[in-house]
A and B are shown apart, each in its own frame.
Chain A
Amino acid sequence: MIQVSHLTKSYGHRTAVNDLSFEVQKGEVVGFLGPNGAGKSTTMKILTGFMPATSGSAKVAGFEVFENPIEVKRNIGFLPETPPVYPDMAVDEYLGFAAGLHGVPKRSIKAAVDGALEKTSLGDVRSRLIGNLSKGYRQRVGLAQALVHNPQVLILDEPTVGLDPKQIIEIRELIKGLAGDHTVILSSHILPEVTATCQRIIVINKGQIVAEDTIERLTTRINKGLIYSMTVKNPSASGIDAVRKVPGVKSVSAVGPKLVVEINPISGETRDLIVAAAVHESMGVLEFSAERVSLEEIFLQLTTVEDHQV
């Protein structure tokens, strides 16, 4: 549904997106994850035909964005970073305008507006002026605008920013519900958000993809295995050596009584063997714990590792 290849965008001398390539299949929900200034919004603006790329190509719904912008735009619903709402319009009037602008025939506009209002639970405020709504409501109006013409592809730039926790859950459910019929790309800085809604994550940093996978695989892949930490009474060279020889152990480092044991990924259960080895060498195990690297850490790791290279 979406094919991006070697996409590059420079603002003057600053390269915002650098040789980005990825694909999104029909019906997938994909999360764009990256720190501030990673190039998420820039990529989305290019995909939606808002601005052209410096080089490379992007295809949406079978049409080249730069050659067939109108066809592409017909198939996309876009929620930009700042919800593009007119403060002087009523909610339903605005959604009617957005529907008409996206080619919804006149007789279907009312139904389309009602549908979008319902999906985003905006029914109560439908005749209020957008300018009088709170930030979270305005964000929802922006989201309703992206949905109103029932597009095949949805591109949502930080869709849950500014929403309250209850709304966040509702909107995440809404997005999850779109999977299958719609293809969705959403961006976020927040991992739980992406884990909650997306089947696949594309982590980008400084305009480049640093990881791209399903959430489970990403966890195991970058999580360089597990790390156990063990505190012992009598650390000894032979004891440390014995632990190091346990199958699956990648490395052992000792600082005083504290041993940090790194395990190769996918090595099965090793804790018994490690503790047994330590006990056998009479090191006197005092404490043993597993440190699971969380997704947050993976994210930080990915984006900071990149920092060292640059």
Chain B
Amino acid sequence: MRLLTSIAAALVEAWGELRVSRLRVMLSLIGVAVAVAALTAVTALGAIAEQSLREQQERFGGRPALLSLQPTNSAGEAADSALTTAAFDAAAERYGITHTSRTIMDQTLVQLPTGETPVQFQAFDADYVTMHRLAIREGRWFTDGDAERFAPAVVINRDLWQMLGEPDLSTHPHFPLSGVQPTTAVVIGVTGDDCQGGCPTMNLLYDDYQRVGFTPMDYGPDSYVPQPTYEAWVPPSQAKELMKRLDSSISASLGDGWQTNISRNDYAAYLDGDPLLPVKLGVGGVAGLVLLLGALGLVNISLVTVKYRVREIGIRRSFGATAGRVFFGVMMESVVATVVAGLIGVALAVAVMKSPLVSMMMSTPVQDLPPFPISAAIVGLVSATAVGALAGLVPALVAVRVKPIDAIRL
């Protein structure tokens, strides 16, 4: 109860002090608020940049942990597709793997308004979109329902969309696909990828790919024939264990002479520890420097004011304020002020980060952009408090050394 009273009394005292010296508090508040805003914004930018970097890596290698499997025999031939699919699905079911996909990349000739054009394509199952966190610019990605469509749904890139004359997706733009079973592709989405009009690509569901039976392009003799890859998205902690199990279980189903060639390709598999550590360190260094400058300014202001308040401290001591209380009181003032400034700074940072300016500066749009990185807000507030305590320490030490008699004599 006594301690509680002391703390409450110190807070009352600090608040009274802040109220009386509004101008000085305003000045120091502005400095701290700006520093905290900068720190928070930098931290938030770091978090968003990290997210953007991770998304790019995930698009190619998949989200951790992604296992890829490609059964071959000693002659380098691909295993029978139906057989492998069955074995793969059975194994996934047995080990409780929720997200799996087959995928293949190839090229085919497509009859476009601009003429017959080679188009790079990738076929995969609907889960692949989640497994690689694929982004879309317009329209939507595949869902399981799309497999039942009569005309295969395709998601094309910007280059191909431009070749089609930039049609509105609500008009269900389509183009013919030739193969064993010629059909018409209906465009349901457009991705942001492009290479300045030079490389049209499209994506379609694996089942549709099999149904169409694209005419293989002539790559010349001895050329590499694309083979499907089977992908499974598993918890990183179980990745090693599941690799072994999938390997043995699928090899067993395929019979003698077949190898499964299972590997892990997501970015987390290549790197020990945090692949973004350098980015984080750089960002942290800049933020720390900004904060240090803010703290120095605050120390300066508080030191000036302590000298000015020596007399008042002397009077307070003559009315029973212990040295400890004076120390705590001056410290509290600084902390109360910086916490308020910290809140303002975080609010400022949120406002800045929400402005369209920032998203314009990002080279690639971030898909899973968090509303505002909570971690950044916490970093901002914690460091504001720490700076307050640190900046309060020097003047508090000075205040404690004030001798009441000398102070009153003034």
Question: Are A and B bound to each other?
Answer: no
